[in-house]
Amino acid sequence: MVSKTMLMFFSKTLTIPWVRLITSKAVWGCVLGFLTYGLLFISLAICLPLYFEQVLELDPTLNGFVSALPFVGRIFGAILFGYISDWIFSRKWLSITNLRKVFQVTGLVGAAPFLIWITYLGKDDAVLAVILMVVYWFILTAMNSGFRVNFADIAPRFAGLLNGICMCLNGFISVFVPILVTAITPNGTAEEWQVVFYGCVGVSVMGAVVFVLLASGEEQEWAKDTEAISDVEVMVTSNNSKVYGSTTADTTPLVDNRGKHI
């Protein structure tokens, strides 16, 4: 009868294999997936109120409410596509690598036609344009089941580090993208915004291709901790005797202090 179990993990300094990390195709696939989403988010979400004002000529009091609607689409999209991806994987219909790629491409390429449709709408089609923008962001959020969780697949020990690096890069991009959008749309015409939207479609297609070519869902060899050992102390009460054992991370059978299997 086991009455008490204690798990104690040795603490040690985490060594980061920078060279192998930086030269990893899987890492670059995920990093570029992050940057693709960052470019789209900043171009279309941050600058969205400007588009609604200049092209659709929405009333300023209504602009704030309408500009928030695509984010509502993102919330529902994240929930739905997250559930669908888990459902597919639980049935083993796709490997984790193919699952990540399918949802990344679904978000980027599947949402692109709605963005192209929007470019042909004017102020008389404001309601339709807003609906299409919500649908666009709803579908684009399928990417959350692609690049967003991919670092945890390929390098779980370094997922926080890699996510932090990508967030810093996206922060750097966020400084320049609005400046570029403003430079492309000096007069705020529909034709100028069409250039912005088509540019976003191009970024989407390129991002999808790069992710398919580079991404992986398997933990990389350089990211594994081959020396990981966990010390497990098990106290077994039987005839007033105590037995202590230890096990390693590679599931070595539990042995007692006399070398016998428990």
User: Pairing state of beta strands 230-236 and 255-256?
Assistant: unpaired
Let me know whether 204 and 181 are in one domain. Answer: yes
Let me know whether 9 and 33 are in one domain. Answer: no
Residue 155: CATH number of its domain: 1.20.1250.20
Let me know whether 80 and 148 are in one domain. Answer: yes
pLDDT at residue 62, as a whole number: 85
Let me know whether 170 and 84 are in one domain. Answer: yes
- The answer as to whether 185 is a domain residue is yes
pTM for this one?
0.79
Write 127-134 long-range contacts (CB < 8 A, 24+): 129/56, 130/52, 130/56, 130/66, 130/69, 133/44, 133/48, 133/69, 133/70, 134/69, 134/70, 134/72, 134/73
- The answer as to whether 19 is a domain residue is no
Let me know whether 164 and 245 are in one domain. Answer: no
pLDDT at residue 60, as a whole number: 80
**Positions of the chain with pLDDT lower than 70, given as ranges:** 1-13, 226-262
Let me know whether 158 and 89 are in one domain. Answer: yes
Let me know whether 8 and 56 are in one domain. Answer: no
Write 93-99 long-range contacts (CB < 8 A, 24+): 95/217, 96/153, 96/217, 96/218, 97/215, 97/216, 97/217, 97/218, 98/217, 99/145, 99/217
Tokens (6 digits) for 119: 């470019």
CA–CA separation, 150 vs 37, rounded Å? 14
Measure Cα distances from 252 to 4, 6, 79, 120 in Å. 20, 17, 39, 64
> Is 201:73 a contact under the CB 8 Å cutoff?
no
Tokens (6 digits) for 201: 């479609």
Domain that holds residue 243: 2-13+223-256
- The answer as to whether 18 is a domain residue is no
pLDDT at residue 248, as a whole number: 46
| Number of structural domains found in the chain | 2
pLDDT at residue 238, as a whole number: 52
CA–CA separation, 124 vs 121, rounded Å? 8
Those residues whose C-beta lies under 8 Å from the C-beta of residue 225, and which sit 6 or more positions away, are 157, 249
CA–CA separation, 140 vs 40, rounded Å? 10
CA–CA separation, 220 vs 22, rounded Å? 12
What is the DSSP annotation of 78-132?
A: HHHHHHHHHHHHHTTSS-HHHHHHHHHHHHHHHHHHHHHHHTT--GGGHHHHHHH
List pLDDT tens digits, range 57-106: 888 888 888 888 888 999 999 999 999 999 999 999 999 999 999 999 99
Cα–chain center distance at 207? 13
Let me know whether 204 and 167 are in one domain. Answer: yes
Let me know whether 103 and 158 are in one domain. Answer: yes
Let me know whether 6 and 102 are in one domain. Answer: no
Let me know whether 52 and 115 are in one domain. Answer: yes
